[in-house]
Every structure is written in structure tokens, then in C-alpha cells.
Structure 1
Amino acid sequence: MNEISVIGGGSWATALVKILTENSIHTNWYLRRSEQVRSINRDAVNPDYLSFLKLDNTKIYASDQLDEIVARSKVILFVVPSAHLDKVCAAIPKKDLAEKFVITAIKETVCPDNLLPSAYLARYFELEDFQQAIIAGPCHAEEIARNKKTYMTLCGPNESFISKISKGFASSYMQVNYSPDMLGVEYAAIYKNVVGIVCGMAEGLHYGDNFMAVLVANAIDELGLLLHSLGAPDVRLGSSTYLGDLLVTGYSAHSRNRTFGKYLGQGYSVFEARQLMGMVAEGYFATRGLMATVSSLGLNLPLLQTTYRVLYNHMAAIDEFKLLERNIK
């Protein structure tokens, strides 16, 4: 792979563009805002996300023209919030992706049908399994920007394709692993956002490390139950492919979901917390999508249910955590 098109202008997209260009992959980059495009082309900086990071814009073609960016490469990487994915897809003629490979780096379900992002894209563009892959963490964009040691997982049934694209993401600070389990890894990447919010709420409510450890232990159990109920293949749940993202999102100060949850625990309303964030906390939408899926499966997942009631029933975090204390072990 020597060229790729990236769709999305946030911090995660910016970090991925950094890695690709460092590996001499020519990157065609769609960003919605023309101000971002001008700054990247002129100053090699995304002014809105990771603005301290200097990119190699000799290997970047940035544009706010989506059709142009899609046409320039045979490999398309989607890195947009799930809430915007339907609008982005609607702007791309289905025939334009018929012969292309599609990589997904989105960690929320897509409403209204609560589909996995890869499943949504496959259905919308009528993609075959061999055309798709997903990227999973644990990969905080801020640490990638600073060359901190990171482990990425690439998933998909087309091992030959993944072997080729993995060279574009591997580096001295990035180790790339392979998994064929798109279903399990993608759901794990989405569920971890919920864990980040609930851990953030615990911090905002001044629970200690002991309680936080119990929360995370219960989260691991919930994830295992969810994956088993969804029919994911038997997996080594303790591996970084599944738990790495969950742990770093639950504990790291870089986690947007944890920060969002912390505001909720401190007593801010959902609206106020979202305003304070200034960017999307993926867990807000992920919680709603997962709750619908879990309800259809008849599962009892106290951490997910607590998060849902705070976000969508507008219950006070302090009251919900008193109930949660009795429902976890």
C-alpha cells in the first residue's frame, strides 16, 4: 500500500495520518472544514486537534471535497463519529466504493439500527467481507502524536490485505497485531467507551481506587458476557486486543469518555458536560446503541444500565451509583 484516503478530521484521524505519512504513505485527507484544510496544506498543522503536532504535508493532499478524496485511492479509511457516518455515506455514490477496500476506525454503533460501523458500511455500499478491515486500540491519539509505545490491532477476514496495510501503520513505537475476529474486537472497542464514562463518574463522585478496581473487574465480566451472547468466537479475553482499550479508557487522563463521565459525577448535566468537552465523547452514542442491543439479548449489565440511565433518563449519578454499589461484586 502506497496511498490511502482518510475521511475525518478529528484527533484520531490526525494521529493515523501522522503514522501513515511517517511510513511514506501518500495520504489523501478529507476534512469537513475548509479552515482545517488550509492550515494543513499551509502550516502542516490541524488547528482543531493535536495542534502541537507538525505533520509531513509533503505526503498529504488535504481537501474538503469528499468525492475527490474518495476517487484518489483504492483504500478508504473512515474515521468519523458514528453520528455523522450516515451523512458522509450519503455523499458518496455507492459505485465509487464498489472496487475499493474499506477500513473502519469508528468506536460507536450507528443509529437507528445500532449496527456496528463495519456492518453499516458493508450494508450501505454492498461490500464483500474481503473488502473490509477494522482498526482497534489501545491507541490514544495524544500518545501516538508523542511517539509513545502503542499496540494496534488490525482485524478482518482478508489476511493478505491486512498484511499489506499493516506495513503502513507499523513503526518503532507502533506494534501492529492481527485478529480475524471483527465482531468481538469491534464490540469490545465500543463497550470500552461506556467503561470510560462510568469510571469517570466514579472519579467525579470521589470513589477511591479500591472501588475503581471493582468497577473495572465487573466491566471485564460484562464484556465477556456480551461477546458470548453475541456469538463472538471463543477468545482470550485478557489479551490486549480485547482489554487494552477498556483499561486505558477507564484509567487514562487522555480518555475523553472518562473526562465526560467525571463532569457528570461532579454534578454537571449531560448537556453541560457535552458543552465543556468541546468534542465528541464516543460513549454518549455508544451507550444508547449498546443498550438497545443488550435489551434485545435480555442481558443484565449493571455498568451499562447505570450509564444509560444517567445519560438518557437524566438520573443523578450519585443516586445511580448508590444502586450500582449493590449490583456489583
Structure 2
Amino acid sequence: MNEISVIGGGSWATALVKILTENSIHVNWYMRRSEQVRSINDDAINPDYLSFLKLDNTKIYASDQLDMLVARSKVILFVVPSAQLDQVCEAIPKNDMRDKFVITAIKGTVGPENLLPSAFIARHFELTDLQQAIIAGPCHAEEIARNKKTYITLCGSNQSVIQKISNAFASPYMQVHYSADMIGVEYAAIYKNVVGIVCGMAEGLHYGDNFIAVLVANAIDELGLLLQAVGVPNSRLGNSTYLGDLLVTGYSRHSRNRKFGQYLGQGFSAFEARGMMGMVAEGYYATKGLMNTVSSLELNMPLLQTAYRVLYNHMAAKDEFKLLERNIR
């Protein structure tokens, strides 16, 4: 496997392209904006994300022609915001995807049915489980861009294909592991963005490390409750794919969801905070999607409920946190 088509032009996509090209994988890279395409092809720089990073554009063909780039590769890597996934998929002829292997690196639910990204793609393109994998783990793009040691997990049921693909992502600073638990890992990756927002709100409200530690401890319990409810058997939450991703999103200065939450804690509205970000905070969409799922399962998840009321019921973060204090242990 020496060629992959990457769909998406954000920081996470840019970091993954960096890894792939370092491993001599040719990348056919779809970007929606023509300015980004020109900058990649001419200067080897993504002007909007990780602009300090010089890529190897001898191994990159960037274009804003989606269907053409999909046709060029047998392996397709989706790295777009969850809110854009349905539009992107609609723009790809279904027949063009029948023989593809699809990797998903998206952390949010999709559409009015709040589907997992992998489930949405499988249904839309009529793919089997053997044609899919997801990438997950504690892996901020900014640190990958600077060759900081990172562990990622490739999840899926087609272990033989995934083992081959894993070589494209492995490097001295990238350690790749395998898991068969697509559903559990995908739900964990979505929920951790909600936790990042809540921890950010706590920071913006001037709570200290002691209280944020309590939030994270309760978040671990909530995640375990969610995974059990969706039928994931005996997940080892201490595994870096689950807990590691949650912790880095809750604590790291690189977390865009945490930064988004800080703005909310400082008194900005969700609309104002989104405008100040300059990039998508997936937790905004994940909160609504997960809240609908959790409500149907009749689960009590105070952190998720707090995020939802602040984001969608327009409640003040300071008032919601007073209530949250009484609902966590």
C-alpha cells in the first residue's frame, strides 16, 4: 500500500499527511479551498493549519476535485468535521467507493440520527465491516507536527489489512496499536471532546486543579456507563485509546475543545466562542448528538448534561456549574 487519498484540510489532516509522506506514501489530498491547494502544491505549506510545518510535496497531489482524488486511491482517509461529513459523502459517486478501504479520523456524531461516522459512511456507501477502520488515541496534531512521541490505535475487524496500513502511520515518534473495538473507541473519541469543553469551562470560571480532577474522575465513570449502555463488553478504560484521549483533551493547552470551553466559562455565548476559535471544536456538535443518544438510553451523565444546557439551552456556565457541583462526587 503506497497511496492514500486524504479528504480534509484541517490540522489533524495535515498532521496525518505529514506522517504518511514521511513513510513514502503518496497522498492525494482533497482540500475544499483552492488557496490551500495552491499553497500545498507550490510552497508545501498549509496556510490555515500548522502553517509552521513544511511538508514533502513531492509526495503530495493536492486538489479541490473530490471525485477525481477518490478515484486515484484504493484507501480513503476521511478527516473532515462531523458536521460536514454528509455533504462530503453526497459529493462522491457511490459506485466509486465500492472497492475502497475507508479509514475514519472523525470525532463527532453525524446527521439527525446521531450516527457514528463509521456507521454513517458504511450505510451511505454500502460498505462492509471488512472495508473500514478508524484512527483514535491521544494525538494532538500540534505535537505530531513537532515529532512528539504519540500512541495511536487503528481499529477495525479486518486485522490483516489494518496491519498492512499500520506501517504507513508508524515512525520513531508514532507507535501504532490495533483494536477490534470500533464502536467503543469511536464513542470514547466523541465523548472526550465534551469533557474537554467542560474542563475548559471550569478553567474559564477559575476553578482549580482539584475540581478539574474531580470532573475528570466523574468523566471516566460517565464514559464507562455510556460504553456499557451501547453494548461494548468489558472495555479497559485505562487503555490509552480510551482514557488517554480523554485526559489529553481535558488537560492539554493544544485542545481546541478545552479552549472553546474556556471562552464559555469566561461568559461568551456559544456563537461568540465559535467565532473566536478559528477552527472547528468538534465537541460542540458531539454534545448535541450524544445528548440525544444518552436521552434515548435514559442515562444520567451530569457532565454531558451541563455542556448541553450551556451550548444549546443558552444557560450561563457559572450557574450550571453550581448545579454540577451538587451532582458529582
For 1:154-213, what per-residue CA distance to the aligned partner results, in whole angstroms no more than 9, with x for missing partners? 000000011000000000000001000000000000000000000000000000111010
Give, in whole Å, the separation in 1 of the partners of 2:320 and 2:235.
32
Matched AA of 2:134: I
Partner residue in 1 for 2:20: 20
Paired residue for 2:62?
Answer: 62
Deviations along 1:204-245, one digit per CA (max 9) or x if unpaired, are 000011101000000000000000010012121111011111
Distance 2:319 2:200 in 1: 15
Separation in 1 of the partners of 2:236 and 2:325?
28
Q: Which residue of 2 aligns with 1:188?
A: 188
Deviations 1:107-166 (A, max 9, x none): 000021100000000000000110000000211000000000000000000000110000
Question: Is 2:282 the partner of 1:305?
Answer: no
Counterpart of 2:280 in structure 1 is 280
Give, in whole Å, the separation in 2 of the partners of 1:319 and 1:4: 48
- Residue of structure 2 in register with 1:264 after alignment: 264
Q: Distance in 1 between matches of 2:95 and 2:220?
A: 41
Letter in structure 1 aligned against 2:277: M
User: Cα distance, 1:12 vs. partner?
Assistant: 0.3
Identify the residue that residue 50 of structure 1 maps to in structure 2: 50
Partner of 2:169: 169
Distance 1:137 1:59 in 2: 26
Matched, 1:71 2:79: no
Superposition map of 1:62-211 within 5 A: 62-211=62-211
8 Å contact from structure 1 (residues 3, 25) kept in 2:
yes
**2: CA distance, partners of 1:290 / 1:274:** 19
The CA deviation at 1:316 is 0.1
> Which of structure 1's runs of 4+ aligned residues deviate more than 2 A?
none
CA contact (8 A) 1:181 1:233 kept: no
Query: What secondary structure sits across from 1:102 in the alignment?
Result: strand
CA distance in 2, matches of 1:294, 1:261: 21
User: Structure 2 counterpart of 1:321, which letter?
Assistant: F
Secondary structure of 1:218's partner?
Answer: helix
Q: Is the 8 A contact 1:44 1:57 kept in 2?
A: yes
> Deviations for 1:45-71, whole angstroms, at most 9, x for unmatched residues?
000000000000000000000011000
Q: Deviations over 1:229-281 (max 9, x none)?
A: 10012121111011111000000000000000000000011111011101100
Which residue of the partner structure matches residue 327 of structure 1? 327
**CA separation in 1, counterparts of 2:284 and 2:133?**
24
Contact kept in structure 2, 1:153 and 1:179, CA below 8 Å: yes
Amino acid at match of 1:245: D
Q: Which residue of 2 aligns with 1:239?
A: 239
Cα distance in 1 for residues equivalent to 2:35 and 2:294:
41
- TM superposition score normalised by structure 1: 1.00
For the residue of structure 1 that corresponds to 2:263, the secondary structure is helix
TM-score, normalisation: structure 2: 1.00
| Unaligned ranges ≥5, structure 2 | none
Shift of 1:14: 0.2
**How far apart, CA to CA, are the structure 2 residues paired with 1:243 and 1:9?**
27
RMSD of Structure 2 on Structure 1 (CA): 0.4
